[in-house]
Amino acid sequence: MSQLIYNTFDYEVQPPRLAPDYKSTVLRAPSKPLVVVKQSLSELTGPVFGDFNLGKFDHDLTKNSIKNGEPMGERIVVHGKVMNENGRPIPNTLIEIWQANAAGRYVHKVDQHDAPLDPNFLGAGRCMTDAEGNYRFYTIKPGAYPWGNHPNAWRPNHIHFSLFGANITNRLVTQMYFPGDPLLQYDPIFLGVPPKGRELLISTFDLSITEPNFALGYRFDFVLRGHQATPFENV
Amino acid sequence: MLQTPSQTVGPYFAYGLTPEQYLYDFKSLSNNVLANPLDEANVVNVVGKVFDGNGDVIPDAMIEIWDTQHQRFGRFGTGTDPQNRFIFHTFKPTSVDGQAPHLSVIVFMRGQLIHSYTRIYFEDEVELNAQDEILSTVPVDRRDTLIASKNAAGYEFNIYMQGEKETVFFEI
Contact yes or no for B26 and A160 at CB 8 A: no
The residue-averaged pLDDT of A31-39 equals 95
The model's pLDDT over B51-95, given as tens digits with 9 standing for 90+, comes to: 999 999 999 999 999 999 999 999 999 999 999 999 999 999 999
Question: How does residue A233 score in pLDDT terms, banded at 50, 70 and 90?
Answer: low
Residue A216 amino acid letter: L
Cα separation, B72 vs A234, whole angstroms:
26
Question: How does residue B38 score in pLDDT terms, banded at 50, 70 and 90?
Answer: confident
The model's pTM is 0.96
Average pLDDT of the residues of chain B: 97
Cα separation, B92 vs A163, whole angstroms:
27
Distance from CA of B97 to the nearest CA of A (A): 8
**Is A198 annotated as catalytic?**
no
**Is A79 annotated as catalytic?**
no
Cα separation, A72 vs A74, whole angstroms:
7
Shortest CB distance from A14 goes to which of B11, B71, B114?
B114
Domain boundaries, chain A: 40-50+61-223
Interface test with B, best of A8, A26, A42 (most B CBs within 10 A): A42
Cα separation, A60 vs A64, whole angstroms:
6
How far from A24 is each of A28, A91, B13, B53, B166, CA to CA, in Å? 6, 35, 16, 11, 17
Q: Is A131 in contact with A171 (CB distance < 8 Å)? A: no
The model's pLDDT over A68-99, given as tens digits with 9 standing for 90+, comes to: 999 999 999 999 999 999 999 999 999 999 99
A6, A22, A145, A177: the active-site residue: A145
> For residue A235, is pLDDT > 50?
no
**Is A59 annotated as catalytic?**
no
Contact yes or no for A173 and B30 at CB 8 A: no
Check the CA dihedral A73-A202-A6-B101 and report its sign: negative
Using the Cβ of B12 and the Cβ atoms of chain A, whether some distance falls under 8 Å is answered with yes
What is the end-to-end Cα distance of chain B in Å, rounded?
20
Q: Is A84 in contact with A165 (CB distance < 8 Å)? A: yes
Q: Is B34 in contact with B72 (CB distance < 8 Å)? A: yes
Residue A1: what pLDDT? Answer: 40
Residue A230: what pLDDT? Answer: 59
Q: Is A145 in contact with A100 (CB distance < 8 Å)? A: yes
The model's pLDDT over B3-31, given as tens digits with 9 standing for 90+, comes to: 999 999 999 999 999 999 999 999 999 99
Task: Write out chain A residues lying below 8 Å of B29, CB-based.
Answer: 49, 53, 94, 96, 126
What HEC string does A149-213 produce? CCCCEEECCEEEEEEECCCHHHCEEEEEECCCCCCHHHCHHHHCCCHHHHHHHECEECCCCCECC
Contact yes or no for A98 and B12 at CB 8 A: yes
The residue-averaged pLDDT of B105-110 equals 98
Residue A54: what pLDDT? Answer: 94
Residue A153 amino acid letter: A
**Is A158 annotated as catalytic?**
yes
Q: Is B168 in contact with A35 (CB distance < 8 Å)? A: yes
**Is A145 annotated as catalytic?**
yes
Residue B151 amino acid letter: N
> For residue A232, is pLDDT > 70?
no
Cα separation, A5 vs B42, whole angstroms:
33
Distance from CA of B71 to the nearest CA of A (A): 7
Residue A154: what pLDDT? Answer: 98
**ipTM exceeding 0.90, yes/no:** yes
Instruction: Determine the Cα angle at A102 with ends A97 and A105, to 5°.
Output: 80
CATH number 2.60.130.10 given to A40-50+61-223? yes
Cα separation, B7 vs A158, whole angstroms:
11
Contact yes or no for B2 and A222 at CB 8 A: no
Residue B74 amino acid letter: G
HSE on the CB side for B34, CA within 13 Å?
A: 27
Q: Is A61 in contact with A124 (CB distance < 8 Å)? A: yes
